[in-house]
């Protein structure tokens, strides 16, 4: 019988080739893809997120674990698509216009995928028009915006104001993050949530998702 704990352990250690081999072997043994995802990949990324939160590991270790997660997902995603399995929610994420930093954004995107979200990553230097196009195409539950430069933080407010004026925020919540961003800034610009790191962003995202699905107003 496939050892799903071994998948989680290999992911935590960032051994992407091992994760790929173990996931493939588990599928060949008849283990359901959703079981492999939940008890192998997500279980491993949960530990990674906790260790990152507690400063036991740092960005380089999280990045290699994220690569291992991606290697495992490569075998599972086609199965989910063929079976029509729906993600728990959809997230559009991007670094705002004028900012080309993406390490934090990438970590959040990978952790959100691990939590079961479909993630549409728009990359860096993302214009408001590009965010709007993605919102109209994908109808996300959540929008995530990142900024590392203090000079690009005001772009978050401009985007939120415009999205609210155009009615896009009636059925969607906005999360913000980045090194200079804090809860006070998030509240000031009208964002619905803030995560100080990728692990907290997942917790905030899941809570906001429940609000969207319940049709609750922004806090």
Task: Tell me: do 47 and 100 sit in the same domain.
Answer: no
Residue 189: the pLDDT is: 97
pLDDT score at 29 = 95
Q: What is the pLDDT of residue 216?
A: 57
Question: What is the rounded distance in angstroms from the CA atom of residue 49 to the CA atom of residue 57?
Answer: 9
Q: What is the domain count for the chain?
A: 2
pLDDT at 15: 97
Integer Cα distance of 138 and 99 in angstroms: 23
Per-residue model confidence (pLDDT) at position 219: 47
**Where residue 45 sits, what CATH number does that domain have?**
1.10.1240.10
60-93 burial by CB neighbour count: b if 16+ within 10 A, else e?
A: ebbebbbebbbbbbebbbeebeeeeeeeebbbbb
Both 186 and 111 in one domain: the answer is: yes
Residue span of the structural domain in which 10 resides: 4-83
Q: pTM of this prediction?
A: 0.73
What is the C-alpha to C-alpha distance for residues 186 and 194, in angstroms, rounded to an integer? 6
pLDDT for the residue 99: 94
Same-domain pairing of 61 and 25: yes
Pair 103, 208 in one domain: yes
pLDDT computed for residue 135 by the predictor: 97
Same domain flag for 200 and 112: yes
Within this chain, do residues 169 and 120 fall inside the same structural domain, yes or no? yes
- Please identify, among 47, 68, 83, the residue that sits at the C-terminal boundary of a domain: 83
- pLDDT of the chain, 219 residues: tens digit per residue: 678 999 999 999 999 999 999 999 999 999 998 899 889 998 898 888 888 878 899 878 988 998 898 899 899 888 877 877 788 899 999 999 999 988 788 888 877 887 889 999 999 999 999 999 999 999 999 999 999 999 999 999 999 999 999 999 999 999 999 989 999 999 999 999 999 887 789 899 999 999 999 985 544
Residues 6+ apart with CB under 8 A from 15: 68
**DSSP structure string for 77-134:** HHHHHHHTPPPSEEEEEEEBTT----HHHHHHHHHHHHTTEEEEE--SSB-HHHHHHH
d(CA 180, CA 9): 33
Read off the tokens for 149.
């430069």
Residue 112 shares a structural domain with residue 50: no
Which pLDDT score is estimated for 136? Answer: 97
Answer whether residue 104 is part of any domain: yes
Tokens of 198: 């990728």
């Amino acid at each position: 019988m496939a050892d799903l704990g071994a998948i989680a352990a290999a992911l935590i250690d960032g051994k992407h080739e091992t994760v790929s081999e173990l996931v493939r072997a588990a599928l060949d043994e008849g283990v359901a893809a959703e079981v492999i995802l939940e008890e192998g990949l997500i279980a491993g990324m949960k530990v990674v997120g906790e260790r990152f939160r507690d400063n036991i590991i740092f960005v380089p270790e999280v990045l290699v674990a994220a690569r291992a997660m991606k290697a495992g997902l490569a075998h599972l995603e086609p199965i989910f698509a063929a079976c029509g399995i729906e993600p728990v929610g959809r997230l559009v994420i991007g670094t705002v216009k004028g900012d080309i930093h993406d390490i934090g954004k990438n970590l959040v995107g990978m952790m959100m995928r691990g939590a079961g979200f479909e993630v549409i990553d728009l990359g860096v230097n993302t214009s408001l028009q590009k965010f709007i196009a993605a919102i109209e195409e994908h109808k996300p539950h959540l929008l995530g915006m990142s900024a590392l430069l203090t000079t690009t933080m005001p772009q978050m407010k401009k985007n939120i104001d415009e999205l609210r004026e155009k009615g896009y925020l009636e059925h969607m919540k906005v999360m913000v993050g980045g090194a200079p961003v804090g809860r006070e800034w998030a509240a000031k610009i009208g964002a619905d949530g803030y995560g100080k790191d990728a692990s907290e962003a997942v917790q905030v995202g899941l809570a906001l998702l429940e609000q969207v699905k319940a049709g609750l107003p922004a806090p």
